[in-house]
Structure 1
Amino acid sequence: MIRMSTTLEAPAATRGLVEITKVRKTFGPTEVLKGISLTVEPGGVAVIVGPSGSGKSTLLRTINHLEKVDAGFIAIDGELVGYRVKGNKLHELPERDILKQRTEIGMVFQNFNLFPHLTALENVTEAPVVAPRPGKPRRSQAEARARGLELLDRVGLRDRADAYPRQLSGGQQQRVAIARALALDPKILLFDEPTSALDPELVNEVLDVIRELAKSGTTLIIVTHEMGFARDVADTVVFMDQGQIVEQGKPQDIFTNPQEERTRSFFSKVIEPAFNI
């Protein structure tokens, strides 16, 4: 139960509006998120960068309630994530309702998390059959298979539909994971360092798929250490450090003319000199 500090007003009908308001999260004695507020417009692409331990991945995991917030709240299209309002307090939803909300929030993890005993196609089709989005009927096996093949084709893997994860490269497994995240037609896609577990030569095949998704109108929130990719794909770049948003803005502004000294210091260490030419 969390006391509300700000009134949440439902916006006009949208699809994929993310509102993060004064979110705090503590692990033991360490406050990992220190009052984070961030809005991502429908269809927007927000890329979160910053040093290790800055709270980026924790923030991402609060958006689909994989991590519970200690204060503040998160809303998608005006609906609170993980909580309901009673009086002036937030009460956590039952797990079944949280799971329903998560069907509208696709997430791609660092380490693929594919089911090893299922083929690529079966990994993609499992959720639409077992746990469809609220208000949508379960797909038949035939419908799910047809949609799954479409999604594998979209990520360039239709010819590997019957392969098991162990038979796929890391880049291919991550592309299957992206297809799986798309299978429920989510409002939002979250990416947590989607290339960090890949060999360098496999990174671009995954980034190319995400670049195409960025043009699709789905809201994307991406945590990454790939600065060139961030500059290329983002509408908004968010720089975090020590549990706070230090600076945010358009990529051309953040990368070429950051206003905060901490931002300048970070980019001077992670961006090659040629990047700004």
Structure 2
Amino acid sequence: MSTAVTESPTAAPAAPAASSPAATRGHVEITDVRKTFGATEVLKGVSLTVPPGGVAVIVGPSGSGKSTLLRTINHLEKVDGGYITIDGELVGYRLRHNKLHELREKDILKQRTDIGMVFQNFNLFPHLTALENVIEAPIVAQGRPKEEARKRALELLDRVGLKDRASAYPRQLSGGQQQRVAIARALALNPKILLFDEPTSALDPELVNEVLDVIRELATSGTTLIIVTHEMGFARDVADTVVFMDEGQIIEQGGPQNIFTNPREPRTRSFFSKVIEPAFNI
């Protein structure tokens, strides 16, 4: 397979400073990322830093580029410009002669074991039980012994409140339960970061809180989280940083107290005035 080449941005990625893995695990740097579909520029030079253990929540109108940005972080979407690093390591590319060369597929797949992702529609294997869904990736992608993977999977299912449904198939679970299994599956690889793409958008309203409660617990666990959501109250509760995107750009970002109660940008104020309750006092 030929190797794709992407021209480097104006400055090549700098080598990461030496430090212990524990001090930097889950440090995300998004630098001037651009993405185009056909004639439409979906991401227009997006830059964002999420420190180890940080919780960044990305909000904004439909079509603003939120989900596309999330998918570039684990290279499900290739960038057309800029670059992304996790703990100083380029995602999806290697640097040679001041150009970014796309990694081979097997190396990209290896990188993805450090980047857990929870999708809108669960994406569970329908022919596998909840337990089997959780142990599949650790055994296949990481070569863990089956009994070790099984023990860890049961611990994770217990963590998301579903240990008693370990033998159930996806069709026997509610949407909220399926999404909680998907979260356990993402955690099973012990990822550096977890990405959530509208994790409650496919759920009936009465099932939303059971999933959000699990993510709230994760937000206090020290794992770096980047979450795309339309649940504004949830964003206010869990985020260290709220990022507002519109038309492929970050319009404003800041702590939840500031950005929800006193946004600086008119576009941010206009958006929040339409989507959040009056109790936010905007």
Q: Give the TM-score range, shorter chain.
A: over 0.9
User: Paired residue for 1:66?
Assistant: 76
User: Paired residue for 1:249?
Assistant: 254
1:100-249 matched pairs, under 5 angstroms? 100-132=110-142, 138-249=143-254
Q: Secondary structure at the match of 1:131?
A: helix
Q: Quick one: distance in 2 between partners of 1:2 and 1:269?
A: 40
| CA deviation after TM superposition for structure 1 residue 139, in Å | 1.8
Cα displacement string for residues 72-106 of structure 1 (whole angstroms, at most 9, x for unaligned residues): 00000000000001101000000000000000000
User: Paired residue for 1:17?
Assistant: 27
State the identity %. 83
Q: Quick one: distance in 2 between partners of 1:11 and 1:273?
A: 46
Letter in 2 for 1:2: T
Q: Quick one: distance in 1 between partners of 2:87 and 2:276?
A: 35
Q: Quick one: distance in 1 between partners of 2:209 and 2:280?
A: 17
Is 1:11–1:77's contact at 8 Å kept on the other side of the alignment? no
Please tell me the root mean square deviation across aligned C-alpha atoms, in Å: 0.9
Cα displacement string for residues 151-190 of structure 1 (whole angstroms, at most 9, x for unaligned residues): 0000000000000000000000000000000001000000
Q: Secondary structure at the match of 2:203?
A: coil
Q: Quick one: distance in 2 between partners of 1:230 and 1:189?
A: 16
Is 1:23–1:73's contact at 8 Å kept on the other side of the alignment? yes
Q: Quick one: distance in 2 between partners of 1:177 and 1:42?
A: 23
Q: Does 2:52 align with 1:42?
A: yes
Is 2:260–2:280's contact at 8 Å kept on the other side of the alignment? no
User: Paired residue for 1:263?
Assistant: 268
Q: Secondary structure at the match of 2:139?
A: helix
| CA deviation after TM superposition for structure 1 residue 3, in Å | 1.7
Q: Does 2:93 align with 1:83?
A: yes
| CA deviation after TM superposition for structure 1 residue 204, in Å | 0.2
Letter in 2 for 1:187: K
Residues 276 and 11 of structure 1: CA distance in aligned 2, closer, same or farther (over 3 Å)? farther
Q: Quick one: distance in 1 between partners of 2:17 and 2:203?
A: 39
Q: Quick one: distance in 1 between partners of 2:186 and 2:229?
A: 18
| CA deviation after TM superposition for structure 1 residue 275, in Å | 3.4
Q: Quick one: distance in 2 between partners of 1:68 and 1:6?
A: 19
Q: 1:3 aligns with which of 7, 14, 20?
A: 7
Q: TM-score, normalised by structure 1?
A: 0.97
Q: Quick one: distance in 1 between partners of 2:190 and 2:126?
A: 23
Is 1:228–1:275's contact at 8 Å kept on the other side of the alignment? no
Q: Secondary structure at the match of 1:116?
A: coil
Q: Secondary structure at the match of 2:267?
A: helix
| CA deviation after TM superposition for structure 1 residue 140, in Å | 1.3
Q: Which runs of 5+ in 1 are unaligned?
A: 133-137
Runs of 4+, deviation exceeding 3 Å? none
